[in-house]
């Protein structure tokens, strides 16, 4: 198995071009933190995509942080067989599933706005909102508005609608807790791997608090009934078209309500943290971040 650490994955999805060159900061992070894949796959060797050909590991299986057209193009250019990779059609299908509008059926108080007027109506209803580009990650592609849209907001909305079909608009939450459920999806459906508890600031991941699954479940208050409903939806709407790791992020607000915020069809830092704690149980109660 050859593990590829490509944390620039979300940026590649947002750009959509198979020859996109991620920013130097993302490539540097990939170089410095490739070992994170080895936490999930003990005994494997992991490298950034740019150095895959220099690795001597058996190449019968390739496992990246996330599959996209950019990493596929990089691997083919280094001599890897295309037979080890998803087809272009599969990659495009997975990219479409990562469009934020996919999870709107699980976000009843959110909307996919295709005009400034729709965003104005959401602000009139909730006052403070978060606007999200449908393909974005790591805190990029997010804007906050309170009371009214600025001229810069309106220009941004027009650009995102033009390039990504819509802007997803959510009410701004009073956050009590942020957590995730980590899954493995396959033809049989959604299998829960574990839970993760994390901190973020303005949408940017800050780190995980390492706690056992049952303690995170207790603190989050996410019921078995809610979890089963999520797993049924994943099994019906995602697993038939995508097989691999998936993370579902939630907010528990200060009123005790749960709100799904994101579906990631890739490996996640929450999964790394979960596996790290499983291997180092004495680390329970500590904070972890790459």
DSSP conformation letters of 63-118: EESS--HHHHHHHHHTT--GGGS--HHHHHHHHHHTSGGGGGGG-TT-EEESSHHH
CATH superfamily ID and name for 175-288: ATP-grasp fold, B domain (3.30.470.20)
Buried b (16+ CB within 10 A) or exposed e, 149-182: beeebeebbeebbeebebbbbbbebeeebbbbbb
Provide the pLDDT for residue 60. 84
Q: Distance between CA atoms of 261 and 244, rounded to whole angstroms? A: 20
Provide the pLDDT for residue 59. 67
Provide the pLDDT for residue 138. 61
Where are the domains positioned within the chain? 2-96, 102-171, 175-288
Whether residue 70 contacts residue 11, with contact meaning beta carbons closer than 8 Å, is answered with no
Q: Which residues pair with 184 in a beta bridge?
A: 191, 245
Provide the pLDDT for residue 55. 61
The reported pTM is: 0.94
The correct CATH number of 102-171 out of 3.40.710.10, 3.90.1300.10, 3.50.50.60, 3.30.1490.20 is 3.30.1490.20
In the chain, which stretches have pLDDT less than 70? 54-59, 138-139
Provide the pLDDT for residue 103. 98
Provide the pLDDT for residue 58. 53
Whether residue 137 contacts residue 14, with contact meaning beta carbons closer than 8 Å, is answered with yes
CA distance to 11, 47, 153, per residue, from 6 (Å): 10, 9, 31
Provide the pLDDT for residue 35. 95
Provide the pLDDT for residue 200. 84
Provide the pLDDT for residue 56. 53
Q: Distance between CA atoms of 50 and 30, rounded to whole angstroms? A: 9
């Amino acid at each position: 198995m050859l593990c590829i650490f490509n944390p620039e994955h979300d940026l590649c999805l947002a750009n959509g071009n198979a020859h996109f060159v991620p920013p130097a900061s993302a490539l540097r992070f990939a170089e410095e933190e490739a070992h994170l894949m080895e936490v999930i796959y003990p005994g494997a060797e992991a490298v950034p995509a740019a150095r895959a050909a220099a690795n001597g590991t058996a190449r019968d299986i390739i496992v990246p942080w996330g599959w996209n057209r950019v990493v596929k193009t990089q691997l083919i250019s280094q001599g890897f067989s295309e037979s080890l990779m998803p087809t272009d059609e599969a990659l495009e299908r997975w990219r479409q599933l990562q469009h934020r509008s996919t999870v709107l059926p699980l976000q009843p108080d959110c909307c996919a706005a295709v005009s400034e007027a729709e965003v104005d109506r959401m602000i009139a209803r909730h006052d403070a909102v978060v606007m999200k580009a449908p393909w974005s990650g790591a805190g990029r592609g997010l804007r906050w508005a309170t009371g009214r849209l600025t001229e810069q907001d309106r220009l941004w909305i027009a650009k995102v609608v033009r390039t990504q079909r819509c802007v997803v608009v959510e009410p701004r939450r009073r956050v009590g807790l942020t957590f995730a459920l980590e899954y493995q999806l396959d033809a049989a459906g959604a299998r829960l791997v574990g839970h993760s508890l994390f901190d973020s600031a303005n949408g940017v991941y800050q780190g995980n608090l390492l706690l056992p699954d049952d303690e995170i479940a207790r603190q989050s208050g996410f019921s078995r009934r809610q979890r089963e409903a999520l797993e049924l939806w994943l099994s019906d709407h995602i697993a038939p078209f995508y097989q691999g790791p998936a993370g579902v992020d939630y907010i528990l607000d200060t009123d005790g309500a749960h709100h799904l915020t994101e579906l990631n069809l890739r490996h996640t830092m929450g999964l790394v943290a979960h596996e790290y704690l499983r291997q180092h149980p004495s680390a329970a109660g500590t904070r972890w971040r790459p």
